[in-house]
Amino acid sequence: MRIRLVLPLLAVFAFLAPSTLWAESVEGEARVSDQDPVSAISEADLDKFWSLIERSGPGNPDEDAQADALRVALRELPPHEIEQFAQTFDGLLNASYSWNLWGAAYLIMGGASDDGFEYFRVWLISRGRDFYERAVADPDSIAVMLPPDFDGYPEFELLVYVATEVWEEKTGGSEFEAQPAMMPMREPDGEMFPEDPDGLARQYPKLYARFGENPL
């Protein structure tokens, strides 16, 4: 049985997994960027990132198969492009770190810990560009983007480690040469979501109608 951890009201969380570190690469060196994490990524790098995710089979209910497909795609790249993929991944995770999206995860899953919210955001990325961008812009839209017969669980921890694993395979190293720099600890963007049913129903009417009484 899955244990669902409820979000502590006053907690301030940092990204815990290695892939949640992000930096902008400049002439082969990593530095912390003061820019928005997505706007700092070139459109060409975003396009390449999302094309690789597309090759992995977004929405595949078999997470192992999707992770394996991404490994196959990344193995075609030189190490520095794998590093860029990982940095883009981290930028997208960072850009989606908001209370509004956390509230959606909390409602869909009947609770969301800090780790659970991170893996939820990884899952959003795994479903492709349109799904991710719509969910970040309007978390309530997830209710209509998921098919009526969806019976999976919206977390995808396994995908976090794929780029590092492939990079290590290709280089024999134990860590990226251009090691991403730690983002400072911060609260999620925006305002804390309500935890009471009435507040959740007001903020996420579509999600509440679908998952309020029957979370995944």
CA angle 125, 110, 18 (to 5 degrees): 40
Residue 25 has pLDDT above 70, yes or no: no
Cα–Cα distance between 105 and 114 in angstroms, integer?
Answer: 11
Of residues 62 and 20, more confidently modeled = 62
CA dist list (Å): 208 to 71, 144, 197, 202: 36, 12, 8, 8
The closest alpha carbon to 120, from 151, 145, 155, belongs to: 155
pLDDT interval class at 173 (50, 70, 90): confident
Let me know: does 180 contact 15? Beta carbons within 8 Å. no
Mean pLDDT (whole number) for 1-17: 33
pTM of the model: 0.81
pLDDT at 38: 72
Let me know: does 164 contact 86? Beta carbons within 8 Å. yes
pLDDT interval class at 174 (50, 70, 90): confident
pLDDT at 86: 94
Residue 67 has pLDDT above 90, yes or no: yes
Query: Going by C-beta distance under 8 Å and a sequence separation of 6 or more, which residues neighbour residue 190?
Result: 98, 99, 100
Of residues 8 and 97, more confidently modeled = 97
pLDDT at 121: 97
Residue 180 has pLDDT above 50, yes or no: no
Mean pLDDT taken over the chain: 83
